[in-house]
Each structure stands twice: as C-alpha cells, then as structure tokens.
Chain A
Amino acid sequence: MLAVFKREMRSYFTTATGYIFLAVSLALLGAMFGVTTFLQATSEAGTYFLFMLAILVIILPILTMKTFSEERRTKTDQLLLTAPVPVTKMVLGKYLAAFAMFMIVVLLSMLNYIPLSAYAVEDAYGSTSSPNFVMILGSTFAIILVGMCFIAIGMFISSLTENQFAAIVITLGVLAALLCISIFNSFISSSAVRAILDWFSVYSRFYNFTYGLFDFGALIYYISVAGVFVFLTIRVFIARRFR
C-alpha cells in the first residue's frame, strides 16, 4: 500500500497534475478568502466556506481524474493487479495519496486565517469582534470531510473509464449535481422527495459545522459515503476480472 501511495505522490509532482491542482486550488481559495473577508471588512468566514465547497467541486476532479483511468490506458493496471497485493490495499494507496494532496491544499490555505486575527473589526455598534476560530476550525474540519467524500466519488468514476477527460467531466457533473441538490432542495414542495434528496445533500450536513457545532451524525455520514465509494471502486476491479 505504501509503495502505491509513494508512487502516486511522486507522479503528482513529476507530471503537471499536482502543480496544476495546487496552483488552481490555492489561487481560487486565496482569492475567495480575500473577497469574502478582507474586502467585506469582516472576520466572519462563513461565506468563505460555502464558496470553498463550490471550489472543491472544481478542483477535486483534477486530482482524481487519472487515478485509475490512466493506469488502464497504459495497461499498468496489469502490473498492479498481478502483483501479490490485495486490490483493497492498491485502491487505498491511491485514495490516501489523493487525500494527502487535498490535505496539503487545506493546510496551506489555513495560512489565510492568520491575518484574520489582526483583522478584528468594529461593527456598527462600536463593539469589536475577534474572529471566531472555533467556527473556522469546525468548518475546515467539515471541508476535509466533504473532500474525503468527493475524492472517493471521483476515484470511483475514474475506475470506470479509460478516458481521463471523461473522468474529469463526469466527476465535475456529479459533484456539481450533489451541491445543487442541496441548494435547490428548498424549492421542492413534496416533503417526501425533499427528504430523499436531503439524504444526498452534502450541504445540509455541512451547515452545523459552520456554526461551530460538532455534528456527530454528519461525521458518520461523510465517512460512510467515502467508505461506500472506496468499496465500490474495489468492487469494480474485482468485477472486471469476471467480465
């Protein structure tokens, strides 16, 4: 598993993918952070995290697009699948590598929070508010959970196709749809449909964290979704052998 993980990490940095991912992510996040906090003259970062969700939809497919589709195209999957390594370990190695790349971005983007503390803002009533770091760290944690799910979904889609381009487009579409369900859910009148759609909703579970509340149910939800898609990816490889 470590071998696969190391090779993946190496490959992110010897091809353009890793750099594109880091550059695009940090640029988008940095710009968005500036716009939502400094330019608004506020240390309230709630809006930033909502935008960050949307940014994840754009950047994570870059990370996951080639996890498996590239291997199939170049037939290197034959090496991995005929080596004495369980499929589970191979998939986990790849998953963890993509997750590590994502964590690099999250950790680097946390540098954004530092100037915020020097940015205590006087409100209209003359009282100063210092940034709510419990809320900020809670939201960051929630972002990491959502990232876990998105990476698992992206990796699963990549395992279904040989075409990187298809992988990135489909992943983008699926992740965007997941986000849209959350946003447009409130417009649906039927409560039954709303309840079902709500189950898929990434956003509604995210909400508690932005208030600094620790939502244990949401934690379980996110970990389960990530787990299900990692499991499905493993199944794709096992099932493909029987085709």
Chain B
Amino acid sequence: MVEIKNLVKKYGSKYALDDISFTINSGEIVGFLGPNGAGKTTTMNIVTGYLASTSGTVVIDGKDILDDPIEAKKLIGYLPEQPPLYVDMTVWEYLGFVFDLKSCDLNKEKHLEEICMITKIFGVKNRLIRNLSKGYKQRVGIAQALIGNPPIIIFDEPTVGLDPKQIIEVRNLIRNLGKTHTVILSTHILSEVQSVCNRIIVINSGKIVADEKTENLTKAISENSRYRVKISGPQREVASALRNVPGVVMVESLNERDADAFVYIVEGAPNIDIRKKLFRVLASRDWPILGLEAVGADLEDIFIKLTDKTGKKGE
C-alpha cells in the first residue's frame, strides 16, 4: 500500500531523515513512534506530498507521490499536527469545501452526513469552527481526512492537547477506522501506539531503530521474564529465599503490603521459566503464593533501550 524507500530529507546540511525505508501493507494500523524532533512529521509530510524528499521514493499503491501526485494524493487522507481548519466557516461549510476541493465522485449530502456520524460532529455541524472546543476541532480535522473515503489515513499526533476523555474517544475512533482503512499514526506517547496499533515503527534522529509487530517488540525487548509475586511470609526471609532460587537474577521487594503478604518483583534469566521453581521453594517453606502475574516491559522501557542503543552506536 505504502512503500517508502531510502528516504532522505536534508534541511540545509542537517539530516532530518537519514535513509528511511519501510512498507506498510493494506489493513495495518502502524504507529510511528519517536521523540519530538525525530523526523515523524517530516516523514508524514513527505508521504502526503506536502514536502519533497531530498532523495528516495514514496509509492502509494503503485503511484509515485512525485511523478503522479494527483492520483497518489487521492488515496490519502491526512490530518496534520495542527488541523488545517478555516475557522471562519461552519463545520458543514468547511466539509463541503473539502469535498469540492478533493472533487469527490460521491453523493455530497449523504457522504458528509456519514462522516459527521462516524466522527460524532453532526450535532455541531452548523457552528463556526472558531467556536468549537479543541476536541471537536480535532474531530473536524479527522472528518476532513475521511472525506472521499481514501483507503489510507495518516494522523500526525492526533491526541496532542486533548483531555483524557477526548483522548480515549479519538483513540477508539482511530481503532474503528483501522478496521476498514490502512492507518498511519505518529505519536510520542508510547501507550497510544500500544493501545491502538498492531505494528510499531520507532524512529530516532531520522533513523528507524525498530520495526516490529507491537507484541513482538514488547517480547523482544523483555529478554528477561519478570513476575510480580504476592507472597504471604516474612519479607526479608522470603526475599533472600527467592534470591537463592536457581535462575532468578533479580528480586525487588515492593512497599506494598496486604496483611502478612508482601509483593516482590522477581526476574528470571532469559528463556528460563522460574515459576515452577518458585512454587516448589515457597511451598517447602510454607509461604503461600497469593498472586503471580507476568510483567511485560512497557514501551517506555523499550524506548529507552532502543534509543540508548542507537545513541551509543552513533558515538
């Protein structure tokens, strides 16, 4: 669907993007993750044809964005970082304008109504965009991207500046869109990609540092198996007993307490399942396990590890 090859973008002598390549298949929801200034927006702007790359190609469903921009752009709906709204228009007028601008071959009234329903802005359709709340403005921005039913939708930081309730709504909306569209989403919020995307591309200083399925990436990084265990028994003794279990590399006592039970984080060596051993050791001492759950590394960890690695490589 979207093929990006050896994309380089230089601003003056500085590389904003340094040889980026990836392919996005139809139906994927891809999270484009990176800290501010990593090159996310630049990539989005190049893919949508707003900027031209210094070198490299972007091909949308067989159409090159530079050689055949009109056909390629027809396939993309884009919500830039700042929604491109004409605040002196009402929502309905604005969407009508975008419809005409994209010269869509659809029943205008019906199509716009549909889109207002999907994005839940039907109730404000006659209000001036200037007077809408930030959450609504964002949704009008999303509606604008959906006009003409493009198969690919690109969102640049769609939840920035929204309140928590709005963030959840926008994420649900994106997840639903993902069922029928190919979605590319850029963000610097790790939980966002985790909750919405099925594939993650991590970018840092203009380079791709990881490109994995969401769960694979989580797995790949948490080389060690970590568990959160709640054990009834004297804290110090339990902790030292846990340390002596073969395969355990780290034990951390948490300050959480439930009657005579304490909570520990126990980490096993890579590829060793320490759960059975834990059970036997604790059973032999008559310290019952009240709870045991796996702790996957969250993306924060992943991110720090990945960016650190590349940072060191660069030095």
Contact B85 A83 (CB under 8 A): no
Residue of A nearest to B66 (CB): A241
How far apart are A118's CB and chain B's nearest CB, in angstroms? 43
Neighbouring A residues of B11 by C-beta, 8 Å: 243
Contact A79 B100 (CB under 8 A): no
Contact B97 A3 (CB under 8 A): yes
Instruction: Flag the segment in B20-28, B45-53, B163-171, B289-297 that touches A.
Output: B45-53
Interface members, chain A 1-42 (any B CB < 8 Å)? 2-4, 6-7, 10-11, 14-15
Interface members, chain B 73-90 (any A CB < 8 Å)? 73-74, 76, 78, 80, 82, 84-89
Chain B contact-residue range equals 20 to 34
Neighbouring A residues of B78 by C-beta, 8 Å: 78, 82
Known: A83-B73, A84-B73, A84-B74. A241 touches B52 (CB 8 A): yes
Known: A75-B80, A79-B98. A84 touches B71 (CB 8 A): yes
Kindly identify which residue among A3, A10, A74, A75 contacts B101, using a CB–CB cutoff of 8 Å.
Answer: A3
Cα distance, A7 to B89, chains bound together (Å): 9
Chain A contact-residue range equals 20 to 34
Residue of B nearest to A4 (CB): B101
Contact B50 A241 (CB under 8 A): yes
Contact B144 A79 (CB under 8 A): yes
Q: Is A47 an interface residue (CB 8 A)?
A: no
Cα distance, A6 to B101, chains bound together (Å): 10
Neighbouring B residues of A10 by C-beta, 8 Å: 89, 93
Q: Is A242 an interface residue (CB 8 A)?
A: yes
A-B contact pairs, 14 of them (CB 8 A): A14-B88, A14-B89, A15-B88, A76-B85, A76-B86, A78-B80, A78-B84, A81-B50, A83-B101, A84-B71, A85-B70, A241-B52, A242-B54, A243-B11
Question: Which residue numbers of A lie inside 8 Å of B, CB to CB?
Answer: 2-4, 6-7, 10-11, 14-15, 74-86, 241-243
